[in-house]
Amino acid sequence: MLQRLEIATQRPLNRSRLLEALQLLQLDPRIASIRAELQPGVRAEASILEVQVKEADTFNAEAFFDNERSPSVGSFRRGVTLTDLNLAGLGDAIKFSYANTNGSHAYDLEYTIPFNPRNGTVGLTASYSDTSVIAPPFDRIDIEGKSFSGGLTIRQPIILRPSEEFALGLTADYQQSQTFIQDKGFALALGSDERGRTRIYGLRFFQDYVRRNPRDVFAVRSQFGVGLDVLNATTNDAGPDGRFFAWRGQTQYVRLLAPDTLFIFRTDAQLTPNPLVSLEQIGIGGARSVRGYRQDTLLTDNGIFVSAEARFPILRVRKVGGVLQVTPFVDFGYGWNNNELPEIQDSNTLVGIGLGLLWQMGDNFSARIDYGIPLIDVDSGDRTLPEKGVYFSLRYSPF
């Protein structure tokens, strides 16, 4: 914090620059409140800046329950996330998450530490998951999968203001997956080797932009990814492998129309000239994509997703700080593969409309249920709630 203020108090002292630095510190989740007073110094050309800071509680635990996983491994997911935003007192953040379904386990670990006073950070990530297909009739075959990924990310804001941020970053990562039938490696995914293994070494250059004011927030992210032919990366003479180039772009716009009344617009797109292995494809359909369809109804090389949602308050319970909102929405998704992959069965367009209810009690508890109606039929079954267009989620944090 002192290093950030040193930049803002360089000679000659600029009060606007100092105020901006204090506002940025107030936005830091590690700081609960900050109070500053600029006083005359002993010499006429000197000033004394007195700053009082109250640290925020940086530890948080959250339990979550939802049905946002694929029915093939069990759609009902439960898990816990532990976060500390100032682990060693260096502004370093660590996050651990564990989740499971009846047919899967997933572990995720993230660690980020700043390396300069301009919010530049270095981050490390590691993930591991194992899955078992439990959906009939494939549950009789004993199909399993294991995957691991790790990455190193450097991110540096270029523009950093209380109302605006633009940052550049680079990620180097490694992904590996393998599928098994009756405990023996077996090629089930396109692009995998004869033992069902897929390995990817990737470089991803990304750009983040956020603009915020009291009425709305606009965020956009662009990423260019390259699969490298290094070490033992998966390579094939034909079809998808670990060599690729892809662009991914995401946007979100949130507008406050009235107290607790919001309009939310989201887009997600991926474009590539190459056939991709499943680890790199874009999934369309599900609770966070086109509602009314099961998770990843479409898994394709290229894809476009657009969603519009409104939130209107219908009940407030001030004693507990609770608000109930009704959430009408419309979602659209379109996906297509490149020539070397088989054609997508059924329709490659998904459209869903629906209605949801969202209950929130401050930052500690939220519960949501959505019902999506598919406007374009696809053959995806109706055994589970997500396949029937019903999605729910609960989040609880005791701190």
What pLDDT band is residue 204 in, cutting at 50, 70 and 90?
A: very high
Element housing 25 (H / E): helix 15-27
247 within domain boundaries: no
Question: Cis omega before residue 137 (within 30°)?
Answer: yes
pLDDT score recorded for residue 53: 85
Give 323-334 pLDDT, tens digit per residue: 999 999 999 999
Give yes or no for residue 349 having a pLDDT over 70: yes
Tokens of 207: 């750009």
291 within domain boundaries: yes
- Structural domain ending residue among the three candidates 35, 56, 77: 56
Give yes or no for residue 24 having a pLDDT over 90: no
In terms of residue numbers, what domain contains 20? 1-56
- Structural domain ending residue among the three candidates 16, 40, 56: 56
The region, left, alpha or beta by phi > 0 then psi within -120 to 50, assigned to residue 72 is alpha
What pLDDT band is residue 8 in, cutting at 50, 70 and 90?
A: low
132 within domain boundaries: no
Of residues 39 and 341, the one with the higher pLDDT is 39
What is the total count of domains within the chain?
A: 2
21 within domain boundaries: yes
pLDDT score recorded for residue 44: 63
pLDDT score recorded for residue 226: 98
Give the pLDDT mean for 146-162. Answer: 97
99 within domain boundaries: no
Give yes or no for residue 174 having a pLDDT over 70: yes
Whether 177 and 279 have beta carbons less than 8 Å apart is answered as yes
What pLDDT band is residue 290 in, cutting at 50, 70 and 90?
A: very high
Other beta carbons within 10 angstroms of residue 359's beta carbon come to 16
Give 227-251 pLDDT, tens digit per residue: 999 999 999 988 899 999 999 999 9
- Comparing CA positions, the residue from 246, 339, 349 lying closest to residue 297 is 349
| CA dist., res. 97 & res. 126, Å (int) | 11
Hey, which of 26-40, 177-191, 195-209 has the most confident mean pLDDT?
Answer: 195-209
Tokens of 291: 């509602």
Query: Cβ neighbours of residue 332 under 8 Å, at least 6 residues apart?
Result: 290, 304, 305, 306, 307, 349, 350, 351
| CA dist., res. 21 & res. 26, Å (int) | 9
38 within domain boundaries: yes
Quick one: DSSP state of residue 345?
A: S
- Comparing CA positions, the residue from 239, 207, 236, 205 lying closest to residue 220 is 207
119 within domain boundaries: no
Q: What is the b/e burial string over 249-267, where b = at least 16 CB atoms within 10 angstroms of the residue's CB?
A: bbbbbbeeeeeeebebebb
11 within domain boundaries: yes
Q: What is the pTM of this model?
A: 0.91
- Structural domain ending residue among the three candidates 27, 56, 85: 56
Give yes or no for residue 346 having a pLDDT over 70: no
